[in-house]
C-alpha cells in the first residue's frame, strides 16, 4: 500500500517539475536505474526473504496426537517444551532457557510434524525454512537471511500477540555443516556464524521467546559449535517406526478412509517393515487411488497390498533386509541378550530387529551403576556378550556373517585392555614393546576361552533361541520382561 502511494506522489512530482519547465531527464534515468537494480536484487533473492509463517492458532494445527509411533520422541520433546511454557518459573529461578532442539533421524519420520505440534503445544507462532534457502553465491546474503528469519519470527509473534515463536529449520546440515570445509567462499561460514550470534543473543526476558527446532539426518556433519550447551543442547532421535508404531500411523492415516471389512491392519503393519511415516501416508493414499480406479466405494486389503509394492518400488527404501537377513539379525540379537541375562540377570531392557542408525537390530541393556574399575572377570563377561551374537548365528544358521565385525572390534579392544592392565597370563607388560606374536597369542587366547564358554552355554539353551527368534520376527520388538519370562528357566539350568 505504502509503495503505491510513494509511486503516485513521485510521479505527480515529476509531472509538476516537467510542467514547471525543469529538465527531468537525469532524474528519470536515475529512477529507472534504481528500479531495475531493486528488481534484479529481489529476483535473485539478495534482499530479505519472506519466510513461511503459519499462524498456528488459526487454521487446523498439528497436535502430538496426530503423530504415530513416536512416543519416546514426543515425551522427550514435551519435557523440553514444558520449560518454555512455564516462563515465569524459569525467569524466577534464573534458568537458562532452552534455545535449540535438534531432531535427528531419517527423512519422512515426522520431524516437521513434531515441530509444528511443538509450536501448537507452546502456543507459539511457527516459522519454517530449510537450510538450503540460506545458501547463495552472494556474500552476506545467507547471514542477512538468518537475521531476517529471527526478525520475522519475533514480529509475527508480536503481531499475533503471542509470547513465543518457534523457528523450524529443516536440513540444518546444509547451513550448519562444519566450518572451513567450503574452500571456495566463506558464505556458508558467515551464515552459520550469524545463526550462532542469534542463538547466543536470545534472553529469557526477551519480549518474544524464540525456540529453534532444527532437523537433520546427519548430526555428524554439524559444526560442533552448534551442539555446545546454550545452543542445540537437546537432541531428540526420531526413528523409523517399529511394528506397533506403524500400526498407529496407519490408523491415523486411515481415519478418514472408508475401509472394507477385510482390511487387516496388523498384517499391513507387519508387511511394511522399514517404512517411514511418509511411506505409510503414501500407502494409505495409493490404496484409496487404486480403489477409486476400480470404481469401488471401499478400500480393500488387496488395494493396500498392491500399494505397498508401489510405494516400495516407487521410492527405493533405504534399507530393507530380506526375510533371511531379518532372521539372522534376530538370532544374533537373541544371542547377545541370552548372554547378557546370564551374566547380569535383569540386564536386558529391550530387543529389536528394527534398524536404528547404523545397526540392523539391537539389544538394549539397562544401564549399570557407574563403575570406574573393572576386574578381569567383568571384562571377560563383556567379551562373552559381544561374541554371543555371532556364535548364536553359527549354532542356529550354520555360519557367521559380516554383521559381527563391530562386536569383534570391541571384543579385541577389551581383550587388549586386559593385557595392558597386567591382567593376562603375560603379567605386567608394556604393550608397545610386546613382540607381535606374543601379543597375538595372548589376545586370541583370551577370545578363544570366552568363545568356548559362550558356545557351551548357547549349546545348552539351544531350543529357546529359535522360540524367541520366532516371536521377535513377528513382534519386531520385545521387552526385557517378556524376554526373561521366555528364557528364565533355560538360563537358570
112: contact with ligand ADP by CB under 6 A: yes
Distance in angstroms (rounded) separating the CA atoms of residues 333 and 327: 10
> Grid cell 577389551 — which residue?
414
DSSP classification of residue 107: T
CB atoms within 10 A of CB 32: 10
Is residue 70 near ligand ADP by the rule CB under 6 A?
yes
φ, ψ for residue 260, nearest 5 deg: -75, 165
How does strand 477-479 pair with strand 348-352? Answer: antiparallel
Of 74 and 338, CB closest to ligand ADP: 74
Q: Active site residue: 286, 333, 394, 451, which one?
A: 333
Complex with ligand ADP: residue 61 or 416, whichever CB lies closer: 61
To ligand ADP, the closest distance from the beta carbon of 102 in angstroms equals 13
**Total residues in contact with ligand ADP, by rule CB under 6 A:** 17
β-pairing verdict for 362-365 and 348-352: antiparallel
Residue 102 · residue 172 · CB < 8 Å: yes
Least distance from C-beta 68 to ligand ADP, angstroms?
A: 4
Give the residue with the Cβ less far from ligand ADP, 67 or 331.
67
The residue (of 259 and 388) whose beta carbon lies closer to ligand ADP is 259
For the CB of residue 383, give the shortest distance to ligand ADP in the complex, in Å: 38
- Selected from 67, 222, 250, 263, the binder of ligand ADP by CB under 6 A is 67
How many CA atoms lie less than 13 Å away from 17 in the CB half-sphere?
Answer: 13
Choose which of 213, 215, 222, 472 interacts with ligand ADP (CB under 6 A).
215
| Residues 230-269: x where in contact with ligand ADP by CB under 6 A, - otherwise, as a string | -------------------x--x-----------------
The CA distances from residue 209 to 76, 99, 256, 267, 458, in Å, are 20, 9, 37, 46, 57
Q: Residue 45: enclosing H or E segment and its boundaries?
A: none
Is position 109 an interface residue for ligand ADP (rule: CB under 6 A)? Answer: yes
Q: Whole-number minimum distance, CB 238 to ligand ADP, in Å?
A: 6
Q: Is 325 a catalytic residue?
A: no
Give the span between the Cα atoms of 117 and 226, in whole angstroms: 23
In the chain, the largest separation of any two C-alpha atoms, in whole Å, equals 111
Please say which residue, 177 or 277, places its beta carbon nearer to ligand ADP.
Answer: 277
Contact residues for ligand ADP, defined by CB under 6 A: 67-70, 107-113, 215, 249, 252, 277-278, 281
Annotated catalytic residues are 333
Amino acid at each position: 500500500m505504502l509503495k503505491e502511494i510513494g509511486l503516485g506522489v513521485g510521479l505527480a512530482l515529476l509531472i509538476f517539475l516537467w510542467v514547471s519547465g525543469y529538465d527531468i531527464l537525469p532524474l528519470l534515468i536515475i529512477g529507472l536505474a534504481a528500479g531495475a537494480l531493486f528488481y534484479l536484487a529481489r529476483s535473485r533473492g539478495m534482499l530479505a526473504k519472506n519466510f513461511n509463517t503459519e499462524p498456528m492458532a488459526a487454521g487446523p494445527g498439528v497436535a502430538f496426537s496426530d503423530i504415530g509411533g513416536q512416543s519416546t520422541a514426543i515425551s522427550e520433546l514435551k519435557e523440553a517444551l514444558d520449560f518454555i511454557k512455564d516462563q515465569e518459573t524459569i525467569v524466577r529461578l534464573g534458568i537458562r532457557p532452552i534455545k535449540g532442539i535438534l531432531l535427528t533421524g531419517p527423512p519422512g519420520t515426522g520431524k516437521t510434524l513434531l515441530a509444528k505440534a511443538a509450536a501448537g503445544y507452546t502456543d507459539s507462532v511457527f516459522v519454517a525454512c530449510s537450510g538450503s534457502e540460506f545458501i547463495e553465491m552472494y556474500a552476506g546474503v545467507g547471514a542477512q537471511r538468518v537475521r531476517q528469519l529471527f526478525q520475522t519470527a519475533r514480529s509475527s509473534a508480536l503481531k499475533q500477540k503471542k509470547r513465543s515463536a518457534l523457528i523450524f529449520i529443516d536440513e540444518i546440515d546444509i547451513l550448519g555443516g562444519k566450518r572451513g570445509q567450503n574452500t571456495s567462499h566463506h558464505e556458508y561460514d558467515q551464515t552459520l556464524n550469524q545463526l550462532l550470534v542469534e542463538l547466543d543473543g536470545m534472553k529469557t526476558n526477551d519480549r518474544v521467546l524464540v525456540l529453534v527446532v532444527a532437523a537433520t539426518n546427519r548430526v555428524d556433519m554439524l559444526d560442533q559449535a552448534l551442539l555446545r550447551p546454550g545452543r542445540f543442547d537437546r537432541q531428540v532421535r526420531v526413528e523409523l517406526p517399529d511394528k506397533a508404531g506403524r500400526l498407529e500411523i496407519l490408523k491415523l492415516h486411515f481415519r478418514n478412509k472408508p475401509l472394507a471389512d477385510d482390511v487387516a491392519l496388523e498384517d499391513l503393519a507387519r508387511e511394511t517393515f522399514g517404512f517411514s511415516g511418509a511411506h505409510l501416508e503414501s500407502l494409505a493414499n495409493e490404496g484409496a487411488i487404486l480403489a477409486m480406479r476400480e470404481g469401488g466405494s471401499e478400500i480393500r486389503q488387496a488395494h493396500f497390498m498392491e500399494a505397498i509394492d508401489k510405494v516400495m518400488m516407487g521410492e527405493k527404501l533405504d534399507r530393507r533386509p530380506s526375510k533371511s537377513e531379518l532372521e539372522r539379525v534376530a538370532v544374533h540379537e537373541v544371542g547377545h541378550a541370552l548372554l547378557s541375562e546370564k551374566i547380569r540377570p535383569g540386564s536386558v531392557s529391550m530387543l529389536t530387529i528394527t534398524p536404528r542408525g547404523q545397526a540392523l537390530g539391537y539389544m538394549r541393556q539397562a544401564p549399570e551403576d557407574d563403575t570406574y574399575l573393572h576386574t578381569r572377570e567383568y571384562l571377560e563377561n563383556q567379551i562373552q556378550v559381544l561374541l554371543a551374537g555371532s556364535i548364536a548365528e553359527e549354532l542356529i544358521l550354520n555360519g557367521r556373517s559380516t554383521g559381527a565385525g563391530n562386536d569383534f572390534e570391541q571384543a579385541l579392544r577389551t581383550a587388549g585392555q586386559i593385557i595392558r592392565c597386567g591382567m593376562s597370563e603375560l603379567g605386567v607388560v608394556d604393550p608397545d614393546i610386546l613382540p607381535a606374536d606374543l601379543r597375538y597369542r595372548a589376545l586370541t587366547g583370551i577370545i578363544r576361552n570366552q568363545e568356548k564358554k559362550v558356545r557351551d552355554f548357547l549349546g545348552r539353551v539351544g531350543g529357546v533361541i529359535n522360540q524367541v527368534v520366532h516371536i521377535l520376527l513377528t513382534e519386531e520388538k520385545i521387552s526385557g520382561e517378556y524376554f526373561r519370562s521366555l528364557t528364565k528357566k533355560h538360563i537358570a539350568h
